[in-house]
Amino acid sequence: MIAFSRADNTPIARWWLTVDRWTLGALCCLVGCGYIMVLAASPAVAERIRASRELFIFKQLAFLATAFGIIIVVSMMPPRMVRRLAILGCGVALLATAMTLVFGIETKGAFRWISIAGSRIQPSEFLKPCFAMTTAWLLSRQRIRPGFHGTVIALCLFLAIVAILKKQPDVGMMAVIGAVFIIQLFVSGINLLWIGLGVSLAGGGGVMLYTLLPHVRRRFDQFMYGGKGGNYQIDRVMEAFANGGLFGKGAGEGTVKDSIPDVHADVVFAVVGEEFGLAVCLLLVGVFAFIVLRGLLRLMREQDLFVVLAGTGLIAGFGLQAMINLFSTLGMMPTKGITLPFISYGGSSAVAVGLGMGMFLSLTRPRARDERARERRIADGAAREEAA
HEC sequence for 326-359: HHHHCCCCCCCCCCCCCCCCCHHHHHHHHHHHHH
Residue-level pLDDT at 134: 96
Q: Who's near 119: CB < 8 A, 6+ residues apart?
A: 347
Residue bearing the bigger pLDDT, 370 or 115: 115
Residue-level pLDDT at 50: 65
Mean pLDDT of the chain: 82
Residue-level pLDDT at 344: 86
Amino acid at 72: I
Residue-level pLDDT at 301: 86
pLDDT tens string 247-299: 888 877 777 777 776 777 778 888 888 888 899 999 999 999 999 999 999 99
Residue-level pLDDT at 372: 53
C-alpha span between 113 and 106 (Å, rounded): 8
End-to-end CA distance of the chain: 54
At residue 288, φ and ψ (nearest 5 deg) are -60, -45
* pLDDT at position 189 over 80: yes
Instruction: Kindly indicate the confidence band of residue 6, based on its pLDDT and cuts at 50, 70 and 90.
Output: low
C-alpha span between 84 and 311 (Å, rounded): 15
Greatest Cα pair distance in the chain: 72
pTM over cut 0.75: yes
The beta strands (E) that lie in 117-204 are given as 119-121
Burial class (CB in 10 A: 0-12, 13-18, 19+), 384: exposed
C-alpha span between 321 and 75 (Å, rounded): 21
Half-sphere exposure of 381 (CA within 13 A, CB side): 6
* pLDDT at position 373 over 70: no
Instruction: Kindly indicate the confidence band of residue 381, based on its pLDDT and cuts at 50, 70 and 90.
Output: low
At residue 114, φ and ψ (nearest 5 deg) are -125, 155
Amino acid at 160: A
Instruction: Kindly indicate the confidence band of residue 245, based on its pLDDT and cuts at 50, 70 and 90.
Output: confident
Across the range 55-68, mean pLDDT stands at 86
Q: Which of 28-42, 172-186, 206-220 has the largest mean confidence?
A: 172-186
106 forms bridges with which residues in the sheet?
Answer: 111
Residue-level pLDDT at 114: 85
**356 near 129, Cβ under 8 Å?**
yes
Angle ∠(266,58,114) on CA atoms, nearest 5: 60
Q: Who's near 341: CB < 8 A, 6+ residues apart?
A: 30, 288, 318, 321, 322, 349, 350, 353
Residue 313's alpha-carbon distances to 58, 212, 308, in angstroms, are 32, 29, 9
Q: Who's near 32: CB < 8 A, 6+ residues apart?
A: none
Residue-level pLDDT at 362: 94
Residue bearing the bigger pLDDT, 39 or 354: 354
**133 near 310, Cβ under 8 Å?**
yes
Lowest mean pLDDT, pick from 42-51, 109-118, 355-364 = 42-51
C-alpha span between 373 and 307 (Å, rounded): 11
Angle ∠(58,63,69) on CA atoms, nearest 5: 125
pLDDT tens string 300-336: 888 889 999 999 999 999 999 999 989 888 877 777 7
Residue-level pLDDT at 379: 54
Instruction: Kindly indicate the confidence band of residue 368, based on its pLDDT and cuts at 50, 70 and 90.
Output: very low
Residue bearing the bigger pLDDT, 139 or 234: 139
Lowest mean pLDDT, pick from 16-20, 65-69, 105-109, 222-226 = 222-226
Residue-level pLDDT at 95: 94
C-alpha span between 179 and 157 (Å, rounded): 15
